[in-house]
Structure 1
Amino acid sequence: MGGYYGSPASVMKNNKAQRVKKRTLKDWKDFVGVKEIQTEDHIRATPEMLAEIREKLQTENKLQLRKKIIKTVIFIAIIIIIIVFTVLNRYFSKNILY
């Protein structure tokens, strides 16, 4: 069977001749459109910078933890209030109406 509806194996075999045998890094750079990329990092982290970053992260984490604790306490308080009102409503509604 040949022609347009040929087997996928024969299509791959025929296309193999058109492909590049081995791609180099330069070929991929040209393909992507990047000619030269600076990979050297000029910023060096000093101990002072690291201490400042560490302190900033610690304060952010403390604030997030406080917010989580406050949200949890409020959620639990709302649940307790709902339970108390439900119990009181059932207790007083039975005694007053019947």
Structure 2
Amino acid sequence: MWGGGFMLQAIQSLKFNKEQRASSKFSRPDWKDYHINYNEVGYDPIKATPELLEEIRTQKQLENKKRKNRDILFAILSLLIVIIFFIYLSNSINGFL
């Protein structure tokens, strides 16, 4: 039969992998293990009050406004640098001609 040795090796490999999975110390977690642990890092029992939400909202709006102003300033400066570069380039080309 063609390829008999290859198939035997594949079957043995599958058998070995199955034995390894069965004998491993790792067991699959059960759904019972997924409970809320209040002592975990990141658990926050504080409920958001309307005042706290308003403070966060105004803070985010201020940050967004600062970032928008910075982006506009960066775009204007980049545009000015490009215009100056083209003016310099056009003057240097006219000087060679």
TM bracket, shorter-chain basis = 0.5 to 0.7
Task: List runs of 5+ in structure 2 lacking aligned partners.
Answer: none
Highest RCO, 1 vs 2 (Cα 8 Å, sep ≥ 6): 1
CA distance in 1, matches of 2:27, 2:67: 54
The aligned counterpart of 1:8 is 13
CA distance in 2, matches of 1:11, 1:91: 79
RMSD over aligned Cα atoms: 3.2
**Matched length:** 84
Aligned ranges 1:11-90 → 2 under 5 Å:
11-18=16-23, 23-25=29-31, 37-38=37-38, 41-90=44-93
Using the TM superposition, name which of 63-72 and 39-48 deviates more.
39-48
User: CA shift at 1:16, angstroms?
Assistant: 4.9
Q: 1:84 and 1:8, CA in 2 relative to 1: closer, same or farther beyond 3 A?
A: same
When normalised by structure 1's length, the TM-score is 0.65
Q: Percent of aligned positions with the same letter in both sequences?
A: 25
